[in-house]
Amino acid sequence: MEQTHATKQGLLDAGIAMLLKHSYHNLGLQALLEQTGTPKGSFYHHFRDKEDFALQVIDEYMKHVHAGLDACLGDETRPPLARVRRFFEQTRQSYRREGYLGCLLGGLGQELSGVSEVFRRKVEQCFSEIARRIAGTLEEARKKGDLPGDSDPRQLASVLVDCWEGAALRSRLKGSPAPLGAMLDFYFRAAAGR
């Protein structure tokens, strides 16, 4: 049973990196199987097909996102806005390690949302969940006076996620962190009314 779990986990981990690098349509299952040393039958033991595999890769990716959110947003030694910014700064560092390939959700969303309602709903659900969690911390910031009293934390969180995704795309195109840093600087100055 442990070997079966390890095989599935290895496929999911490789899938994150390969989907970031090659996209969904260019991900060859044979290349995935070769890279992970997995027999074809083992793949189909864990996944119905390529779509099921990619959807489970998104779930695995979201585990990492939630772990990052837990670590950053839960750090009450920092002010709320600093916690939110820290999450995005740490995400920017992971993009650097990956060669600025951007966000898996953004990449798959751009590639598949026009052709697959299943992927469009899944990616939108993930972005909404990220924004929901950030909104809770932005509400703390509003209550502490770090955001204007009439701010709508849910709207601010949604705009932040949208801006981040646009900056992640520009970062990928430029192979540089500059768009990510510029977006964060602008957003946090504007949100705080400075």
191, 156 Cβ separation under 8 angstroms: yes
User: Residue 45: how many CB atoms within 10 A of its CB?
Assistant: 12
Residues contacting residue 109 through CB under 8 Å, at least 6 positions apart? 119, 120, 123, 124, 127
Stretch 26-36: mean pLDDT: 93
pLDDT score recorded for residue 194? 60
pLDDT score recorded for residue 183? 96
Domains with residue ranges and CATH for the chain:
50-191 (1.10.357.10)
Stretch 13-40: mean pLDDT: 93
Stretch 174-181: mean pLDDT: 92
| 99: region left, alpha or beta (phi > 0 left; psi from -120 to 50 alpha) | left
pTM of the model: 0.92
pLDDT score recorded for residue 101? 81
Question: Which is more confidently placed, 72 or 98?
Answer: 72
- Residue 3: pLDDT band (50, 70, 90) is low
pLDDT score recorded for residue 44? 95
The string of pLDDT tens digits covering residues 117-146 is 999 999 999 999 999 999 999 999 999 999
- pLDDT exceeds cutoff 70 at 71: yes
Structure tokens at 156: 């601010």
The string of pLDDT tens digits covering residues 92-125 is 999 888 887 889 999 999 999 889 999 999 999 9
108, 61 Cβ separation under 8 angstroms: no
Rounded to the nearest integer, the mean pLDDT of the chain is 93
Stretch 68-78: mean pLDDT: 97
- Residue 159: pLDDT band (50, 70, 90) is very high
2, 32 Cβ separation under 8 angstroms: no
